[in-house]
Structure 1
Amino acid sequence: MHTAGNYFNKEIRPITLGLVYRGEDILVEKYDDLIKAQTFYRFIGGGIQFREKAEIALAREFREEINANINIISHKATIENIFSFGNSDEHEIAFVYEIQIDEHFYLLDKFEKTENNAINDVYWINKKKFISGELVLYPDGVINYI
């Protein structure tokens, strides 16, 4: 059972995520939660630093992780996400933007993203696979905006 004392050292993490379309496909990175034995997907993005605007953080994250420039089309959603990943309880506020990226990425079906010495696979996947529930897309609720 969780008590208030368990969370005194935890903080809400602001993140920013980029929704990129290629026709009916969306650009997602793949994750595995070994505790839940679940594979899931998420848009590329990451943490917002103190005094950094979400749009600037998103551009920085895309440069750092896949060496891409972005063009922001629109703000799609702000989503509060309370979840567990592995053995850790988390709480995020996600700013989701529809964006475009460098043209050559649209020609690739799969590539790798590097973050903190970890490599994740990035795919273009038809959004219908998420809408149907065949594949899992996080954060919860983001499915309403694709």
Structure 2
Amino acid sequence: MYPRAKSLGLVIHNDLLLLEQYKGKHSNGEGNYYRPLGGTIEFGERSDWTVNREFKEELGIEVIIQRYITCLENIFKINGDVGHEIFQIYLVDLKEEWMYDKPYLEVKEGTRSSKALWVPIRKVLDGNEFIYPEGLTKIIRDYILS
């Protein structure tokens, strides 16, 4: 098995992060946890293109890439299986300004649907809300808020 290459887009507006909400077991227990929007880089696709494609597929919207932030490697275990992901992280803006006023955005991926919510950055940094992949909280603190 090989590591999976992925790209994520961080959307920040008024000290809020746009994060997809999940429910279930996670490394900090059970309940809600969050992840920025993005997905697997397809063969022959640049990582910034992946961010644009994933936002279009999952939210039906376009984003503007502001800047590349960093690379994050995540090795984890779920139910005894080891996972290995390498993420390219980008800071992005929503192209349509009015979308920032919505309390949540509907995420569609195949037959699955969920919500992307505006989560206060402070709650993430304080450890009151859990975001994945592991190490992303430190990246937000060190690369974006510094």
* Residues 1:120 and 1:85: Cα distance change in structure 2 (over 3 Å): farther
Matched, 1:133 2:127: yes
Q: Which residue of 2 aligns with 1:109?
A: 103
Alpha-carbon deviation of 1:86? Answer: 5.7
**Equivalent residues, number:** 137
Q: Which residue of 2 aligns with 1:4?
A: none
Indicate the SS of the match to 1:57: helix
Amino acid at match of 2:2: E
In structure 2, which of residues 59, 66, 71 is the aligned counterpart of residue 66 of structure 1? 59
Moved over 6 A (4+): none
Alpha-carbon deviation of 1:85? Answer: 4.2
Alpha-carbon deviation of 1:37? Answer: 2.4
Length-normalised TM-score, structure 2: 0.86
Determine the C-alpha separation between the residues in 1 that align with 2:79 and 2:106: 22
Which 5+ residue runs of structure 1 have no aligned equivalent? 1-9
Matched, 1:31 2:22: yes
Length-normalised TM-score, structure 1: 0.86
Amino acid at match of 2:18: L
* Residues 1:67 and 1:82: Cα distance change in structure 2 (over 3 Å): same
Which 5+ residue runs of structure 2 have no aligned equivalent? 141-146
Determine the C-alpha separation between the residues in 1 that align with 2:23 and 2:77: 13
Determine the C-alpha separation between the residues in 2 that align with 1:86 and 1:15: 22
Q: Which residue of 1 aligns with 2:47?
A: 54
- Which of structures 1 and 2 has the bigger CA Rg? 1
Amino acid at match of 1:25: L
Alpha-carbon deviation of 1:64? Answer: 0.4
* Residues 1:130 and 1:41: Cα distance change in structure 2 (over 3 Å): same
Alpha-carbon deviation of 1:72? Answer: 0.6
Alpha-carbon deviation of 1:118? Answer: 0.5
RMSD: 1.6
Does the Cα contact within 8 Å between 1:113 and 1:120 map onto a contact in 2? yes
Instruction: Percent identity, please.
Output: 29
